[in-house]
Amino acid sequence: VKIRLFIVLTIAALIVLGCAAPSGAPQPPAQAPAAAVTRGGTLRVGLNSDLTTMDPHMSTAAVDRQVYQSIYNPLVRLDKDLTLKPELAEKWDFTDPTTLVFTLRKGVKFHDGTDFNAAAVKFNFDRMMNPDNKSPRASEISSVKEVTVVDDSTIKLTLKAPNASLLAVLSDRAGMIISPAAITKFGKDLARNPVGTGPFKFVEWVTGDHLSTVKFDQYWEKGTDNQSLPYLDGVTYKPVTDASQRLTSVKTGTLDLIDQIASKDYAGLKGSKDPIMSEVAALEWQGLEVNNAKPPFDKVGARQALNYALDRDSIAKDVLFGTVTPGQGPISPSSWAFDASINTYKRDVTKSKDLLTKAGLTAPVKFDCMIVNSPDGLLLGQAIKEQLTAGGFDMNIVQLDFPTALAKYNAKDYTCFQIGWSGRPDPDANFYQFMHSTGSQNTYNYANPKVDELLDKARATYDQAQRKDLYTQATKLVNDDGGIGAWLYWPTNIKVWSPKVNNFLHVPDGMMRTKLLWLTKAAQ
Amino acid sequence: MTRYISKRLIAMIPVLFLVSVIVFTLIRLIPGDPAIAMLGEEATPQMIASLRAEFGLDQPIPVQYAIWLGRVLRGDLGNSTRAHQPVTQAITERLPATIELTLLSLLISLTIAIPIGIISATQRNSKMDLLSTTLALMGVSMPNFFLALLLSFVFSLNLRLLPNIGYVPITQNLRENLIDMIMPAITLSAATLAIVARLTRSSLLEVLNLEYIRTARAKGLAERAIIIRHALKNAMIPVVTIVGLQVGALLGGAVITESIFVLPGVGKLAVDAIFSRDFPIIQGVVLFFSVVFLGVNLIVDVLYAFLDPRIHFG
C-alpha cells in the first residue's frame, strides 16, 4: 500500500508541478537607472529571527540592531569601507590619547519632541555605565572613565587608557542615543517603547509577527531632493525564521528586502535580476576551536596538525556553495587591517600525521567535537570529520543545540567546538577578547606573552597602518601556535531585494540602513 | 446535568496540576540555559548570572515551582524572558489566529469529510468509494509540513495566487484575512478530514446493518430519509468523539502549520519559546492547551446526550 501511495503521490505532484511552473517566462526588463528619487511607500523587510528588545543598551541579539537602524542614530556612522563618518556627532577629535571630544549636531530632535544635546549623550553613557543597569554595553565602553558635558553641543570622553577601538564601538548600539525623557518615563519598558532620533518612529510591535515604523517628519538629515529624509513613508519588519520561506516571500512580492539566505540558494540567485542579490565580505569569522588545556590539543603539534589536515577550500566550495571565503584569521577581507599573507597553512595530510607522531600521539587521535545540530552545521561537521580522518584524527561529532554547546564552551568544559564570532568593525573587537591571555572570551586557555604585547600595543595605537602591521604579526603568531585551533572561513553577507528597492548601501556589518532607501513609483 | 458538569470541572483540577508539574520539570531537563539562550555569544559570566537571578533560575526547582504556581493561582503567568511581555498578553494577542485557524480547518474537514463518508458508505466498493479511500489515506499519510511546502510551492511560488506567509487580523480586513488563511487551513485540515471521512464511513456501514434500519426500509421510507434522519444521527456518536480528540491534534498541528506560514498564533509562540528557552511562555502555553483540550472533551461528552437520548448523566 505504501509503495502504491508513493507512486500516486509522486504522479500527482508531477502533474501539479508540470501545470504550474511558468519556466522560461520572460524576465521583466532590467530597471533603468532612475534619474530622480521617488518618495513614499512602505518597505517590508524580512528578518531571520524574532526580535528581543528595542532598548539598544540592553540588546544582545544581532537581529535587534536591524530595527535600530531605523529608530536610532549612532554618534558616528560606519561606511562601506569600514571608515567612520559623522552622524549625531558632526566631528570628533582625540585632544590627547585619553581624551575624545565630540562636537554634536545642533537642531536634532527625538521622536518625543525632546532636544538632542550633550546632556542627553551623557545621560545615555551614564545609563550604560551604571552597574545596576547590567547593560551589555558596559564592557564595550569599559575604557571610558568619565563623560563630561562641555557645553550644549560638546561632550568629552575621558578614557582610562588609550583605546583605538572605541570610536568604532560608538557606530553601533553603544553609540545610539535614546531620548532621556523616554528612559525616565518607561524605565525597563523602553524595551517595547523605543524613542530615538532616527528617520522612523516606532508604531507597534506584535511579538513574532511584525514591528512597524512610520516616517519621522522632523528628521534632521536632508535627501538629494533637499527635503527631509527618509524617502519612505514607513518600514515594517517581519521575522521569517525559515530561510526558504523568506526567499519565496521576496520572490513572490510579500516582502521587499530580506536578510540572509540558505547557502544552497546562492548559486541560483547569482546574476538574478528579480530578485536582486547583493554580497559583501562580512565582519564574521568561523573556526574549529579547541581547548589548549585538554588532550590531545594541549600539545601544539596536535593543533598544528589540525590546521594541516583541514581542506578549507573544499569546505568553502563544496559544503558552503561559495558563500564564504576560506581564511585563517580573525580579521576578515572587509577590514582595512586585512592582510592575505596570514593564510600560512596549506593542506598536507602527511605533515599532519608526522606532527601527530612527533607530538607523541598515535593515529587515529580521538577527540570529541561539539557541532550545533542544525542541518548546515551537521553538513559542515561531517566534512570536517572526513578531512581530519585523512590527517590522522578520529573526530567524534557531538550534536548539541546551540545554547547547550555555548554553555559548555563558556565554562571551558569542551575539547573542540565549531563556532565563530559575528564580528565587529574594529579589528580589536574580533581579536583581543579571544586571543589575549586576559581576554573575556578566551575560552581556549590560550596564552602567548608576545601576542598579548602586540594586541595591547595595537589597542593603544591610533595609527591605522601601524595597527594593521601589529595585527598581521599577532595573527601569524596565533596561527603558528594553533592558538584557537583552526580558523576556517569568513562568511559573505548576503541581502536579497526586489528590483523596486533602490539605493541600498551594503555595509559589511550586514545592517539594513533604511534612511536612504526608496521604492520605484510604479511598484508602490 | 449541572451536577455532572461541575463534577467534571472539579476533576480537571488534579489533571491540570499534574500537567503543570510535568511541564515545569521537563522543560528544566532540556539542556540549555534561558540566560545563555538569550544572551548568545556575547554573554559574559556576570551577565549570565545576573539574568539567571532576574528570572529566578538560581533557586532550586521546587522553590521555582512554588513561586510560579502561587502566581498562576492569582492569574499571573509571569513574563516572557525573551520578548519582555506578560505571558497572558502574549497568549491572548495570539489567540485569534489560532482559534480562526483551528475552526476553519475543522469546518473544512467536516464539510468535506462527512459527505464523503456518507457517499462511500452508501456506495460501498464503488469507484467513488475507492477514490475517497485513496484520498483519505493520502491525507493521513502526508505530514502536514510537507503538504504546507507543497501548497506553498505550487500556489505561491509558481502560480502566484496566494501569499506564502502573512496574516491580517479578521477585524482589519476579512477578505485578506481569508486569503492568508486558505493554505494554512487546508494544510491543517487534511489529516482530520481523512480520519473523519473514514470513521463516518465505517460507523454508518455498521448502523445501516442494524435491525431498525431494516424496519425503516420495510416501512417503505425513502433511502434518503433513512440515511439522514435515522442512520446518520446514531452513526455520529463515535465521529463526535473523534472530532473532540482531533481538536487536540489540530492544536498540535497548528504548531507546525503556524510556524511554516508565519502565522502569529499560540502554536508558533510555543515553538519560538522552546528555541529560546522561554520557560514562562512554554509553561503558559502548555497549561492553556491543556485547559482547551479538557474543555472541548467535556463539551463532546455533553453532546452525546443530545445525539442519543438514552445517555444520561448523573
| Range scoring the smallest mean pLDDT among A302-306, A428-432, B179-183, B289-293 | B289-293
Output phi, psi for B196, to 5 deg. -65, -40
* Residue A14 confidence (pLDDT) above 60: no
**Cβ neighbourhood burial of B313 (10 Å; 0-12, 13-18, 19+):** middle
* Residue A516 confidence (pLDDT) above 50: yes
The whole-chain average pLDDT of chain A stands at 91
Q: Taking residues A472-483, what's their average pLDDT? A: 97
Looking at the complex, does the CB of residue A238 fall below 8 Å from at least one CB of chain B? yes
pLDDT value of position A12: 55
pLDDT value of position A173: 96
Residue A67 Cα distances to A235, A238, A250, A295, B101, angstroms: 9, 10, 19, 44, 30
Looking at the complex, does the CB of residue A440 fall below 8 Å from at least one CB of chain B? yes
pLDDT value of position A4: 55
Q: What's the CA gap between B289 and B296, in Å, rounded?
A: 11
B173 against A32, higher pLDDT: B173
Residue B33, Cα to own-chain centre: how many angstroms?
29
pLDDT value of position A9: 54
Please give, rounded to a whole number of angstroms, the shortest distance from the CA of A510 to a CA of chain B: 17
When pLDDT is cut at 50, 70 and 90, the band that residue B40 belongs to is: low
pLDDT value of position A30: 42
Please give, rounded to a whole number of angstroms, the shortest distance from the CA of B184 to a CA of chain A: 14
Range ranked top by mean pLDDT from A30-34, A35-39, A496-500: A496-500
When pLDDT is cut at 50, 70 and 90, the band that residue B260 belongs to is: confident
Copy the grid coordinates of residue A235.
518600514
Q: Taking residues B155-167, what's their average pLDDT? A: 89
Please calculate the CA angle A433-A369-A450 and round it to the nearest 5 degrees.
30
First CA to last CA distance, chain B? 7
When pLDDT is cut at 50, 70 and 90, the band that residue A421 belongs to is: very high
Beta strands at A324-326 and A485-497: parallel, antiparallel or unpaired? antiparallel
Q: Which residues are within 8 A (CB) of A145 and not within 5 positions of it... i.e. 6 or more apart?
A: A158, A159, A160
From the list A8, A238, A242, the residue facing B260 with the nearest CB is A242
From the list B41, B47, B82, the residue facing A421 with the nearest CB is B41
Copy the grid coordinates of residue B264.
502569529
Q: Taking residues A381-410, what's their average pLDDT? A: 92
Copy the grid coordinates of residue B78.
509571569
Residues 128-167 of chain A with CB under 8 A from chain B are: 134, 136, 139
Q: Which residues are within 8 A (CB) of A292 and not within 5 positions of it... i.e. 6 or more apart?
A: A298, A303, A444, A445, A446, A483
CB-CB neighbors (< 8 A) of B94 in chain A: 208
DSSP letters, A325-387, are EE--SSS-TTSTT--GGG------HHHHHHHHHHTT--SSEEEEEEEE-SHHHHHHHHHHHHH
Do A499 and A28 touch, CB atoms closer than 8 A?
yes
| Range scoring the smallest mean pLDDT among A60-74, A239-253, B46-60 | B46-60
Q: Taking residues B162-180, what's their average pLDDT? A: 90
Please give, rounded to a whole number of angstroms, the shortest distance from the CA of A503 to a CA of chain B: 26
From the list A136, A208, A254, the residue facing B165 with the nearest CB is A254
Do A262 and A244 touch, CB atoms closer than 8 A?
yes
Please give, rounded to a whole number of angstroms, the shortest distance from the CA of A363 to a CA of chain B: 33
Please give, rounded to a whole number of angstroms, the shortest distance from the CA of B276 to a CA of chain A: 9
Q: What's the CA gap between B160 and B155, in Å, rounded?
A: 6
Do B283 and B17 touch, CB atoms closer than 8 A?
no
Q: What's the CA gap between A141 and A138, in Å, rounded?
A: 5
Task: Quote the DSSP letter at residue A34.
Answer: P
Nearest to A42 by CA among A201, A239, A232, A198: A232
DSSP letters, B118-164, are HHHHHTTTSHHHHHHHHHHHHHHHS-HHHHHHHHIIIIIIIS--S-S
Copy the grid coordinates of residue A195.
524613542
Biggest alpha carbon–alpha carbon distance for chain B: 85
Q: What's the CA gap between B109 and B189, in Å, rounded?
A: 5
Are the Cβ atoms of A403 and B152 closer than 8 angstroms?
no
* Residue A213 confidence (pLDDT) above 70: yes
Please give, rounded to a whole number of angstroms, the shortest distance from the CA of B83 to a CA of chain A: 5
Are the Cβ atoms of B94 and A403 closer than 8 angstroms?
no
Residues 465-484 of chain A with CB under 8 A from chain B are: none
CB-CB neighbors (< 8 A) of B162 in chain A: none
Q: What's the CA gap between A390 and A356, in Å, rounded?
A: 12
Looking at the complex, does the CB of residue A20 fall below 8 Å from at least one CB of chain B? yes
Q: What's the CA gap between B253 and B258, in Å, rounded?
A: 8
Q: What is the pLDDT of residues A255-277, one digit of tens each?
A: 999 999 988 899 999 999 999 99
Element housing A393 (H / E): strand A393-400
Copy the grid coordinates of residue B245.
480528540
Q: Taking residues A36-51, what's their average pLDDT? A: 93
Which residue of A410, A443, A498 is the best one to mutate when testing the B interface, meaning the one whose CB has the most B CBs within 10 A? A410
The whole-chain average pLDDT of chain B stands at 86
pLDDT value of position A13: 55
When pLDDT is cut at 50, 70 and 90, the band that residue A21 belongs to is: very low
SS3 B25: helix
* Residue A35 confidence (pLDDT) above 60: no
Q: Which residues are within 8 A (CB) of B214 and not within 5 positions of it... i.e. 6 or more apart?
A: none
SS3 A84: strand
Q: Which residues pair with B283 in a beta bridge?
A: none
Task: Quote the DSSP letter at residue A99.
Answer: E
Q: What's the CA gap between A343 and B152, in Å, rounded?
A: 45
Copy the grid coordinates of residue A491.
562568511
Using a CB cutoff of 8 Å and minimum separation of 24, what contacts does B160-166 make?
Answer: B160/A252, B160/A253, B163/A252, B163/A254, B164/A245, B164/A248, B164/A249, B164/A252, B164/A254, B164/B261, B165/A238, B165/A240, B165/A245, B165/A248, B165/A249, B165/A254, B165/B261, B165/B262, B166/A254, B166/B261, B166/B262
Q: What's the CA gap between A412 and B5, in Å, rounded?
A: 57
CB-CB neighbors (< 8 A) of B156 in chain A: 248, 252
Q: Which residues are within 8 A (CB) of A127 and not within 5 positions of it... i.e. 6 or more apart?
A: A57, A133, A135, A183
Nearest to A500 by CA among A476, A482, A513, A518: A518
Do B22 and B290 touch, CB atoms closer than 8 A?
no
Output phi, psi for B116, to 5 deg. -60, -45
Half-sphere exposure of B287 (CA within 13 A, CB side): 25
Nearest to A246 by CA among A48, A50, A64, A66: A48
Please give, rounded to a whole number of angstroms, the shortest distance from the CA of A208 to a CA of chain B: 6
Output phi, psi for B76, to 5 deg. -115, 110
Closest-CA residue of chain A to B81: A52
Residue B265, Cα to own-chain centre: how many angstroms?
12
When pLDDT is cut at 50, 70 and 90, the band that residue B29 belongs to is: confident
When pLDDT is cut at 50, 70 and 90, the band that residue A40 belongs to is: very high
pLDDT value of position A60: 81
pLDDT value of position B52: 81
pLDDT value of position A376: 80
Q: Look-up: residue for cell 559570566?
A: B45
From the list B85, B158, B159, the residue facing A207 with the nearest CB is B85
SS3 B171: coil
Q: What's the CA gap between A61 and A241, in Å, rounded?
A: 14
Using a CB cutoff of 8 Å and minimum separation of 24, what contacts does A144-147 make?
Answer: A147/A121, A147/A122
> What percentage of chain B carries pLDDT values higher than 90?
23
Q: What's the CA gap between B184 and B280, in Å, rounded?
A: 27
Looking at the complex, does the CB of residue A258 fall below 8 Å from at least one CB of chain B? no
Are the Cβ atoms of B31 and A404 closer than 8 angstroms?
yes
Q: Which residues pair with A44 in a beta bridge?
A: A236
Q: What's the CA gap between A520 and A506, in Å, rounded?
A: 19
> What percentage of chain A carries pLDDT values higher than 90?
81
Are the Cβ atoms of A139 and B44 closer than 8 angstroms?
yes
Four-CA torsion A187, A190, A194, A196, nearest 10 degrees: 30
pLDDT value of position B253: 85
From the list A20, A239, A401, the residue facing B158 with the nearest CB is A20
Output phi, psi for B262, to 5 deg. 50, 50
Q: Which residues are within 8 A (CB) of A252 and not within 5 positions of it... i.e. 6 or more apart?
A: B156, B157, B160, B163, B164
Are the Cβ atoms of A5 and B138 closer than 8 angstroms?
yes
A36 against A463, higher pLDDT: A463
Nearest to B202 by CA among B235, B168, B240: B235
Do A229 and A516 touch, CB atoms closer than 8 A?
yes
Q: What is the pLDDT of residues B205-258, one digit of tens each?
A: 999 888 888 898 888 888 888 888 888 888 888 888 888 888 888 888 888 899
* Residue A17 confidence (pLDDT) above 70: no
Q: What is the pLDDT of residues A367-383, one digit of tens each?
A: 999 999 887 889 999 99
pLDDT value of position A11: 54
* Residue B46 confidence (pLDDT) above 80: no
